[in-house]
Amino acid sequence: MKRIFSSQVKNFLDKEVLLCGWLSKKRDHGKVIFFDLRDKEGLVQLVFPVKNKEVFNQAKEMEKEWVVKIVGRVKKRPKGTENKNLVSGQFEIEVKEVEIFSQAKTLPFSIEDDGYQIKEEIRLKYRYLDLRRERLKNNLSLKAKTTKIIRDFLEKNDFLEIETPYLSKSTPEGARDYLVPSRLEPGKFYALTQSPQQYKQLLMVAGFEKYYQFARCFRDEDTRGDRQPEFTQVDLEISFAEEEEILALVEKLILEIVNKVFPEKKIAKIPFPRITYQEAIEKFKTDKPNLSKEKNELFFCFIVNFPMFEKKKGKWEVTHHPFTLPKEKDPEKIKKNPEKILAHQYDLVLNGEEIGGGSLRSFQPEILEAVFEVIGYPKRETRKQFGHLLEAFKYGVPPHGGIAFGLERLLATILGEKSIREVMAFPKTGEGRDLMMGAPSSVSENQLKELSIQIKSKKGK
C-alpha cells in the first residue's frame, strides 16, 4: 500500500490508507482514544476504538512524539466535531494496524506553540525538536519558495548561477576573516570568504555579464545579538549597467517575491522611494529609516549617494568597501579631498532594516589605488593584497556593478520575526556558539601537530 499524507486524506473517503508520522495530542475518552498524527503536510485525527482491542491497547501505551506507521479507514468526522483549522479537519482515520518505529522521551519544551517564551539557549540546544514547531516549519518552507522565485526570476532575466570558492585569500575587506590553516603549506592560511566580491568582479572580466549566486558568507564579527558567523546572501553582478538599472531590477525581483510568496503583505510605495544619505540623516537621523505604518505594510526604499569615506578614530575608512566606484574620477582629487567624495553606493532598506547593499565598482586601477591610499594602504601594499585583481584589470574590464541582500534578513523582516535565527535551520547564538553540536570545540594535539600549530594560553589563564 502506498503511503499518503495528511493533506490527501480528503481524497480517500471510506478507503483504507497508510500514513507515517509523529503522534501528537493524545485524548483518552475511556472507550475510545484519539491521537493527532503529524507529518510534513500537517495533522490528521486518528481514532482507536475499543472494539479493536489490539490497537486500542497499543494506543493506551503510546505517547506523544512516538514515530509510527498506521493503516486505517478514512471516515467523516461526526457532525459538530470538525476542525476548520485543518485541511483534513472534516475527516478522521479509524486505525486498524499500528507499527511503532520509535518511542520518544518527554520533550524538554512544548512544540505546540510559537516557542517565543522558551529560552533561546534551550531551543538551540534541542534545535531538531524546535524545528518540529509549525511556525519554524512554515518559515523554512517560505524560505525555500523564496529561493525558487529568485532563481526563476534571475534566470528569466539571463543571469547565470556560478559558484565561487569558500576557501580564499585573507584580504582587508571589513570584518575579521575566519582563517583555515593549510596542512600542506605549514604556516600559511586560507580565509573563508566574507563575500564573493573579488570573484564576481573577476567573472565580469571573464565576460560573464550577468552573474548570481546564493552565496555563503563568513564573518568573524564581535558579539551582537542578531548577527551570525555564517549566512546566505543573494549576490548579483552585471556588466555595462548603470546604477538605476540595477535598482530597477532589484525592485522587480522584490515585487516578484512579495506577490508570489507573501500576497497578504502590502507594499507601501511603488516604485520604491530613492532617499539620499544626507536626506535620511537630516530627516530621520538614520540611514535605515522605518517608514511603515501598519502591521502588514512593507515600506521598501533605496538609500543612495553615500559618502565614499568616513572618519573613525582619526582615520579614513570606506563607508561600504574599497571596490566601490567614487563619483569623482580624478585620483588626485580623491586623495586630496576624501571628505567631499560621494560614492555610487546604494542600500535597500525595509521597515528600518538594511536588507542589502551594493555599488558600481572601480574598474580602473588608478582609482582603486587612490581609494586604498586614502584608507592607509600605500601602492606597494595594495598590489601585494590585490595584485590579482589589478592584474586582471589590465586585460580589458567592463564597467560593472551589483548588489547583495541577506536572504535571512529579508525573510525575517517580512515575517515580522525579531531575529534571523527564526528563518535558519541550525543557527548559532549571538556569541557564535553552536549549542547543539558543541562548537567551537578543542581539537586533539595530533590535529594541531599535523597543521604545525601550537596553542599558547593567554596570560593569567
Amino acid at position 210, single letter: K
Read off the pLDDT band of 206 (50, 70, 90): very high
**Band of the pLDDT at 173, cuts 50, 70, 90?**
low
Whether 388 shows a pLDDT value over 60: the answer reads yes
Asked if 151 and 161 touch (Cβ cutoff 8 Å), the reply is yes
Is pTM, for the whole model, over 0.85?
Answer: yes
Which residue, among 416, 422, 414, 420, has the nearest Cα to 139 in the 3D structure?
A: 422
Q: Please report the pLDDT score of residue 74 as a whole number.
A: 97
Question: CA-CA distance, 142 to 407, in Å (whole number)?
Answer: 11
pLDDT at residue 387 in the model: 84
Distance of CA 73 to the CA centre of its chain: 42
The mean pLDDT of 353-360, rounded to a whole number, is: 96
Residue ranges of alpha helices (H) inside 126-205 are 127-130, 134-156, 197-205
Nearest Cα neighbor of 204 from 231, 230, 177, 238 is 238
Confidence label for 314 from pLDDT (cuts 50, 70 and 90): confident
Region for 65 from its dihedrals, namely left if φ exceeds 0, alpha if ψ lies in -120 to 50, beta otherwise:
left
Flag whether pLDDT at 461 surpasses 60. no
- Burial label for 114, CB within 10 Å (0-12, 13-18, 19+), is exposed
Q: In a 10 Å sphere around its CB, with 0-12 CB exposed, 13-18 middle and 19+ buried, how is residue 69 labelled?
A: middle
More confident residue, 1 or 57: 57
Q: Are 289 and 349 in contact (CB under 8 A)?
A: yes
Average of pLDDT values for 319-334? 93
Return the biggest CA–CA distance within the chain: 92
**Listed range (18-27, 153-162, 316-325) with the worst mean pLDDT:** 316-325
273-287, 324-338, 369-383, 403-417, range with the lowest pLDDT: 369-383
**Alpha-carbon dihedral sign for residues 155, 157, 160, 161:** negative
Choose the weakest-confidence range: 61-70, 168-177, 289-298: 168-177
Report the pLDDT value the prediction gives residue 103, as an integer from 0 to 100: 98
* CATH 2.40.50.140, domain 6-102, yes or no: yes
Whether 328 has a pLDDT exceeding 70, the answer reads yes
Q: Which residue has the higher pLDDT, 381 or 395?
A: 395
Taking residues 112-116, report their average pLDDT. 95
Q: How far apart are CA 80 and CA 87, in angstroms?
A: 16
Range 67-89 average pLDDT:
94
Residue 19 confidence (pLDDT) above 70:
yes
Three cell numbers, residue 5: 499524507
Nearest to 131 by CA among 426, 396, 333, 342: 426
Grid cell listed for 317: 575608512
pLDDT of 225 reads 67
Which of the 8 DSSP states describes residue 229?
S
Give the pLDDT of residue 385.
Answer: 82
pLDDT number for residue 39: 96
pLDDT in tens, 153-163: 999 999 999 99
Residue 279's pLDDT is 97
CB atoms within 10 A of CB 177: 21
- Position 54 pLDDT exceeds 80: yes
For residue 289, the model assigns a pLDDT of 96
Angstrom distance (rounded) from CA 59 to CA 29: 12
Q: What is the mean pLDDT of residues 310-335?
A: 92
CA distance 261 to 327: 37
Spatial CA neighbour of 417 closest among 144, 143, 145, 230: 143
Give whichever of 276-280, 372-376, 380-384 has the largest mean pLDDT.
Answer: 276-280
All CATH 3.30.930.10 domain ranges of the chain, comma separated, are 125-306+343-363+398-423
Check: CB of residue 236 under 8 Å from CB of residue 403: yes
Phi and psi at residue 209, in whole multiples of 5°? -70, -25
- How sure is the predictor about 295, in pLDDT bands with cuts at 50, 70 and 90? confident
For domain 125-306+343-363+398-423, the question of CATH label 3.40.50.1820 is answered with no
Average pLDDT, the chain: 94
Tell me the C-alpha distance between 12 and 418, whole Å.
41
Q: What's residue 175's pLDDT?
A: 76
Query: Among 83-92, 168-177, 292-301, where is mean pLDDT lowest?
Result: 168-177
The continuous run of DSSP H or E covering 335 comes out as helix 331-336
Mean predicted confidence (pLDDT) in 286-304: 95
CB contact at 8 A, 320 and 346: no
The residue whose grid cell reads 593549510 is: 182
Confidence of residue 17 (pLDDT cuts 50, 70, 90): very high
Sign of CA dihedral 294, 300, 303, 304: negative
pLDDT(72) > 80? yes
Q: Label residue 110 left, alpha or beta by phi (over 0 means left) and psi (-120 to 50 means alpha).
A: beta
Residues 6+ apart with CB under 8 A from 147: 214, 407
What 3-state DSSP class applies to 226?
A: coil
Where in the sequence of the chain do the CATH 2.40.50.140 domains occur?
A: 6-102
Say which range, 5-19, 56-70, 443-457, has the weakest mean pLDDT.
443-457
Q: Which residue has the higher pLDDT, 173 or 37?
A: 37
**Sign for the pseudo-dihedral over CA of 85, 86, 89, 93:** negative
Roughly what angle, to the nearest 10 degrees, separates helices 134-156 and 407-415?
A: 120
pLDDT score, position 460: 58
Q: What percent of the chain has pLDDT over 90?
A: 87
